[in-house]
Amino acid sequence: MNPWTPVSRRGFVRLGASAAVLSQLAARTSPALAAADEPSSSAGDPWAGLKVGIASYSFSKLPLEATIKGIRRVGVNYVSIKESHLPLKSTAAKRKEVVKAFLDAGITPLSCGVVNMNENEADVRNAFEYARDAGIPVIVCKPPHAILPLLDKLVKEFNLKLAIHNHGPEDKVWPSPLDVWQAIQPLDERIGVCIDVGHTARCGVSPADAIRKCSPRLYDLHFKDISSTEGKSRPVEVGRGVLDTRAMVQALLETRYRYHVGLEYEKDMTDPLPGVAESIGYLRGVLAGSKRS
């Protein structure tokens, strides 16, 4: 149990169970492009104004219908769509169909990815067309340095945001979000960062500090917990590991973060729902004791 929390772990798990049962069936009247940039109201909101959702990679071993059902069961209304649920090589009609399935269930897609990009301009352009056709406002991506000028051109052409994802010390291109932050400074402001809090901590960087540093161009966040910041780390339910959930939440609230807070749960991939529900419940409990500045 983390020493800072005043609430028992059992209490948080009960909150998780409640989140898994009580779906918030809020009506969706705005398209994803509008939702991504509008601040969420915090009045009576258990998420304190944050757009808490799920990275659908958490359900990547399950089909689309089961993924949508699982996201609804944990009571969140946002998603980042992974290719396993909407292939990059798909028609415009298929892209619209999948997004409609989420929207019809009360779930707004705020981003897609992680999209691995290469130096083939046709492939990169397809990723932009994919997001445009689906009405998804942010592409979470992993590009090589060499195509940053191309990305600078395409964000202007398509008026979409990019969030470059860091992958930890094993990644020789983007290990830390601070590496991304430094590289994007000369580029269009629509090119930003997706902080993976687990990989960030494994680089020896405080996720909360990185959130504050990158906040002007932080367009997506992969939220999780890990067993250790050293050696072979395992994914665990949020609250069971070493990351300071409260500090990360407080940084998001202080910076008035308005994009996707996507739980990326990478444990028990064939049966993720119990761990996803526990993680979302724990996060909801932490938010209940936090304050927006």
Sequence-ordered strand ranges (E) for 34-190: 51-55, 78-81, 108-116, 138-142, 161-165
Could you give the CA distance from residue 290 to residue 293 in angstroms, rounded to a whole number? 10
Rounded CA gap, 191 and 181, in Å?
A: 10
Q: Which residues pair with 108 in a beta bridge?
A: 78
d(Cα 276, Cα 293) in Å, to the nearest integer? 28
For β-strands 191-196 and 161-165, DSSP reports them as: parallel
pLDDT tens-place string over residues 47-90: 999 999 999 999 999 999 999 999 999 999 999 999 999 999 99
CA distances from 205 to 141, 213, 251 (A): 21, 11, 14
Inform me whether the pLDDT recorded for 261 exceeds 60: yes
Identify the band that residue 20 occupies on the pLDDT scale cut at 50, 70 and 90. Answer: very low
Structure confidence by residue, pLDDT tens digits, 120-155:
999 999 999 999 999 999 999 999 999 999 999 999
Label residue 245 by pLDDT band (50, 70, 90). very high
Predicted structure pTM score? 0.87
- Cis geometry, peptide bond prior to residue 114 (ω within 30 degrees of 0): yes
Strand ranges inside the chain, DSSP E? 51-55, 78-81, 108-116, 138-142, 161-165, 191-196, 218-223, 225-226, 235-236, 260-263
DSSP helix, strand, coil percent of the chain (3-state; round to 5): 45, 15, 40
Give the pLDDT of residue 17: 40
Contact in structure between 262 and 221 (CB atoms under 8 Å): yes
Domains in the chain (CATH in brackets) are: 9-22+31-288 (3.20.20.150)
Q: What is the pLDDT of residue 42?
A: 57
Residue from 198, 128, 194, 192 nearest 160 by CA: 128
Q: In DSSP terms, which residues pair with 163 in a beta bridge?
A: 140, 192
